[in-house]
Structures are given as C-alpha cells and as structure tokens.
Chains A and B, each alone.
Chain A
Amino acid sequence: MFTKKKSVLLFLLPGCMGLMVFYVVPFFGGVWYSVTDGTYKNSFVGLQNYLAIWKNQMFLLGLKNTLVLSLICAPTVWLLSFVAASLLARIKPAGALFRNSILLPYLMPSSAMLLIWLVIFDYGGPINRAIAGMGLERVLWLEGGALRVPIILLFIWKNLGFAVIIFLSALQAIPEPLYEFARLEGAGFWKQTFSITLPMVVPSAFLVIILEWINAFKIFKEVYFIGGAYPDESVYTLQNYMNNMFSKLNYQNVTTAAYSFALIVFALFGALFLTQRRLMKTLT
C-alpha cells in the first residue's frame, strides 16, 4: 500500500475528472432543470414537474413496462443460471464444453440474432409449428402483448452465460471437505444444500441479481430490435419515453423522469441489500 505519494494523482485524476464532468457534477446540476419550468424566465416551480410526471400516462406506461419486464427477466436469469451452474458443478470437470457454449452468447451481438428470431417466432415458424403439432392454437408472437416472449427470450439467451460463470465460480470455491464432513455427520442432500451450499453462495447470488437487474433495465435494446423504435404499447419502455422527450428537447421532463426512476432503483436495491444482510445473519 502506497501512502503519501503525490504520484497517486497521475492515476487518479484522468478517471476522476471524467467521472466528475460526465456523471457526478451534471447529475447534481441537472436537479435544477427538474425544479424549473423551462420557459424564457425559467422560474422555480418546486416539485411541480415531479407531480406532473406522476400523472403523465406515457411515463407511467414506460415505467410500468420497464419494471415488469425487468421483474420477469432478472429473477428468471438468476434462477436459470443457478440451476445451470449447479448442474455444471456436479459433472465437473467434463462440463467445460457445456459451460463454454452457455457463455458464448454473452459475447455475441444480439442485434445480429434478430433475423433468426423473426424466423423462429413467425406465425408459420418453427415454434408455432411445434405448437400446432401438439394440437394447440398458434400464437402471434410478433404482435401485441405476446411480443414480450421473444424479447425476454432474446434477453435470456444473451445474458444467461455470465451469471452462470459467477455462480459456478462460487460453487467451485466451496471446499469439498465441508461436504464430506457433513456426509459423515449423516446430512442428506437437502441438509447439505441448506447448511452449506446456500449460505456460501448468498453473496454471489446477491451480485448476480443486482447485475442482472441493472442489465434488465436495458431491455430497451431487445425491444428495439424486435419491436422497432415505436413498439407496441405492451413493450413501450422508459427509454422510449426518454428518447421521445429528448428529441423534443424537453429537458425538464427528461431530468424529472430520470430522478424519479433513480429514486425507485435505489429503493429497490436498498431493499435487496437489507434482505441480503438479514439472510446472511439467519443462515450463518
């Protein structure tokens, strides 16, 4: 550890300056926009913009869809990745091939997958062929509320791998003697899972859900690929709303929407953090 070194500035300053200029200072400076009316006089209006935006139908729709989509995506990726990682940990070391093919899509541009997705989910495509083969009614996957399905699946396809890797490294870090000892004590599979595996992976599980949640807020990407820039109402996200307001140069609205969303996100993550702390206490 270096102490009292002037040279720290050499390493610190470029990054910190950038973070200040592009993120921190304008973040606080932007608060000014959200409490003024944006007219020529630009007078102070207090919390009026915030009250107005909570009555704005499009904002509420975008917010609702973003939260709903992320509430489906993040836990699904979380659960699936835990299952996949557990399976991989069980068949080690032969699982490398499986592990690599699950990680591969994380590096792939999902934009390039759009074409194949449109074929797979076409009204006459393979998925509907299978559905019809089972004697069920075909689904219009690319229209209306059903659009959520191909969008969510594209998200999962791309994001599963990284979460699996994090879980897998946590599972593999659990010392094998712990299990042997438990088995000697007569603990069965479930007892081992609850007293050894789960407590040991809680920190990673917390990390994965946070990372996936941040990622899932960016689901606009998948929505844009499949639903276009002006998608169906059922997948209209907050980003669509922000882009719209942004192109109208309505900075009052953009900043107000952003800070409202930031409050919600911090409340969500704060609650998650407290849950993790309590969980760690009860499990250990």
Chain B
Amino acid sequence: MKRHHLLRRRHVLSRLLLSLIAIVMLVPLVVTFLYSFFSPEEIKAYLQTRGNYDQKAMMDIVLSPKVASLDQYYRVLISDNSILRMFANSAMYTVAILLGQAAVIPALAYALSRFRFRGRDAIFFTIIMLMLLPFQVTMVPNVLTLRAIGLLNTVWAVIMPMWFTPFYVFLIRQYMVGLPDELLEAAQMDGAGTVRSYFHIVLPVCKPVVGAAVALSFADLWNLVEQPMTYLSARQDLQPLSVMFNQLVAQPSGIEFAGAALYIMPALLVYLFFQEDILSGVQLTELK
C-alpha cells in the first residue's frame, strides 16, 4: 500500500517535470502567434524598447494587444510582398528537393536492401561514411562539382546535391531490410517483377518510414541556411526566408511576427499530417 502510494507520487513529479519541458517548448511558438495579432505600430514600439541598458528600465511583458489586429497579415500577404517573395523561394527549394529525393532515395534504398549484387555492402558503407561527414566537409566536393558544371549561383546549386542526402537512404534502407521475405516472395509467385514489387508492395508497406523521411527532410529544408548562403552568396534575390530573417529583424517594421507565424504554419501542417509516421517510422526502423 505504502509502495503504491510512493509510486503514484513519483508519477506526479514526472508529470510536473514533463509539463515544465512542454511549456518551455510551446511558449515561443504561442507568443509568436500572439504577437502576430498586434498592430504593426504597437509591436514596433514594443520591439524598440529592446537594447536599453539603463539599470532601471525593463521591457514590459506584454501578453495582450491594445487592439487585436490583422494588419500585420494584411501587409505581409497583400500590400508589401518582400517577405512573401522570400517565402516563395523557401517553398520552391523545399518542393524541388523533396520531389527529387522522392524519385531517387527510396529506389536506392530498395536496391540496397532487397537485391543481392556485388559491391552492395561497399556502397552502403560509403553512404554511412558520407552521412557522418559534417556539412563543412561535404560542401567542398559539392562546390567543386557545381563549379565544374557551372551551376554555382543558380538555384540548382542548392537543389541538386540535396537530392542525394545520405541520411534518408540509410533511414529507409534500415526499414526495408526488416520487411519479411514472404511478402516479396508471394508477389514473385504471382508474377510481379522487381518494378511492380517496388511500386505495389514495397512503397505502400514503407509508408510510415517514407512519411517520416519526408517530414524530417521538410524540417531541414524549411530551415535551410548553409547551402543558399554558401552556394548563392552572390544572389540575394534567391535567398529563402530562413536566411533572411535576421536581416528583417535588424530593422523591424512591425510585420515580422506575422511573417514568422506564416512561416511556421506549413511546418505545423506537415507536423500534424506526418506525426504518426514519424513516431512509427522511428519505432519500426532498426536504427542500430
């Protein structure tokens, strides 16, 4: 009886700690949305109280607007399209890269997991080594190729190398290795070849891990910084919003919170749509 009581008390502590973590995680997002409904003038005035080194002065903690307003959204979406243009750049990179990855990566994972051929293990080993290399290292071979084929400072410099991101090959391959042999043998008995097996059996069965890979890749691409900064250093007009945020913030005009909120929304949708896939994808993959 006493032991049981102790156990329950411990759970209260666990819940308390977890609530604390959850709140810390959510507050920045909630406040960003909250501030996006302030009028541009009010939020601009508030942001200007930053950087005051007076020992007595503090920023107010503001949690409700004088007047709730959609003015920030109106400006971002309709009257001033500078943020929208960078948003479109972000979307263009994300879609172009995801489409290429979808065409190349599951197919490569399929070849490396369901076929037996000479050199297979060597290829897989190479992919793991590439996965371990940080961007500071892999950017160098990327740049050498891009320069040789004349694609530096074009959008393809960002897009093409990322079609072959090794981590997602690894992730999907580990999942495909775990598929039961009977599944494909039954298909073979029915006369399905390698191509039909891929499209009609392997891909549908791999939906969770492919979904997880799409979501993880999206998260990475929607926050793209290093590649456009390095490969498109001469092209300010091609930069995605993720690169430009800190320049917007340097001279706030009061619409940045709506820009941030709008930038978060697609990520929120992707999260809601793929949440289950991320969880089961990670759970079912032999990540060892």
Residues of A at under 8 Å CB distance from B? 1-3, 5, 7-8, 10-12, 14-16, 18-19, 21-27, 29-30, 33, 66, 84, 87-88, 90-91, 95, 97-98, 100-120, 122-126, 128-129, 132, 157, 160-162, 165-166, 169, 172-173, 203-204, 206-207, 210, 214, 217-218, 220-221, 224-226, 228-229, 238-239, 242-243, 246-247, 251, 254-255, 257-259, 261-262, 265-266, 269
Contact partner of B58 (CB less than 8 A), chosen from A90, A113, A124, A261, is A124
Q: Which residue of B has the minimal Cβ distance to A216? A: B134
Could you list 23 examples of A-B contacts with CB < 8 Å? A2-B194, A16-B108, A19-B130, A23-B141, A26-B141, A33-B144, A98-B15, A98-B19, A101-B25, A101-B26, A108-B271, A109-B223, A109-B267, A112-B260, A125-B58, A132-B58, A204-B288, A207-B287, A214-B134, A221-B225, A239-B226, A261-B134, A265-B137
Q: Are A26 and B278 in contact (CB under 8 A)?
A: no
**Interface-centre pick from B133, B140, B142 (highest chain A CB count, 10 A):** B140
Number of A-B pairs, beta carbon distance below 8 Å: 300
**B246 interface residue, CB < 8 Å from A?**
yes
What chain B residues lie within 8 Å of A165 (beta carbons)? 278-279, 282
Q: Which listed residue, A111, A169, A239, touches B136 by the CB 8 Å rule?
A: A239
Asked whether B198 lies within 8 Å of A22 as measured between CB atoms, the reply is no
Q: Check: B104 CB closer than 8 A to any chain A CB.
A: yes
B52 x A111 contact (CB < 8 A): no
Pick the contact of B59 from A15, A30, A124, A228 — CB < 8 Å? A124
Find out whether the CB atom of A108 lies under 8 angstroms from the CB atom of B140: no
User: A residues within 8 A CB of B115?
Assistant: 1-3, 5, 8, 11-12
Q: In the complex, what distance in Å separates the CA atom of A258 from the CA atom of B101?
A: 26
Q: How far is it, in angstroms, between the C-alpha of A244 and the C-alpha of B272 when the chains are bound?
A: 39
Q: Answer yes or no: B74 CB below 8 A from chain A CBs.
A: no
Shortest beta-carbon distance, B214 to chain A, in Å?
11
- Beta-carbon contact of B58 and A23 below 8 Å: no
Point out the residues of chain B lying under 8 angstroms from A162, CB to CB.
216
| B143 at interface, CB cutoff 8 A | yes
Closest B residue by C-beta to A238: B136
Q: Which residues of chain A have C-beta atoms less than 8 A from B260's C-beta?
A: 112-116
Q: A111-B245, A115-B260, A129-B58 are in contact. Are A157 and B28 (CB under 8 A)?
A: yes
Interface flags, B77-110, vs A, CB<8A=1, else 0: 0000000000000000000000000011101101
Contact, CB under 8 Å: A15 / B144: no
Most A Cβ at <10 Å: residue of B26, B136, B219, B282 = B136
Q: How far is the CA of A2 from the CA of B22 in the complex (A)?
A: 47
| B residues at A contact (CB < 8 Å) | 10-11, 14-15, 17-19, 21-22, 24-26, 28-29, 31-32, 35, 47, 49-54, 57-59, 61, 103-105, 107-108, 110-112, 114-117, 123, 126-127, 130-145, 160-161, 163-164, 166, 169, 181, 184, 193-195, 198, 215-216, 218-219, 222-223, 225-226, 229-230, 233, 241-243, 245-246, 249, 252, 256-257, 259-261, 263-264, 267-268, 270-271, 275, 278-279, 282-283, 287-288
The complex places the Cα of A128 from the Cα of B279 at a distance, in Å, of: 37
Contacts of B166 in A (CB 8 A): 19, 23
Main secondary structure of the interface of A (DSSP, over half): helix
Determine whether the beta carbon of B133 is less than 8 Å from that of A265. yes
Q: How far is the CB of A24 from the nearest CB of chain B, in Å? A: 6
Contact of B195 among A10, A132, A214 (CB under 8 A): A10
A132 to B260, alpha carbons, bound, how many Å?
A: 30
B26 and A117 within 8 A (CB): no
Q: Which residues of B contact A84 (CB under 8 A)?
A: 18, 21
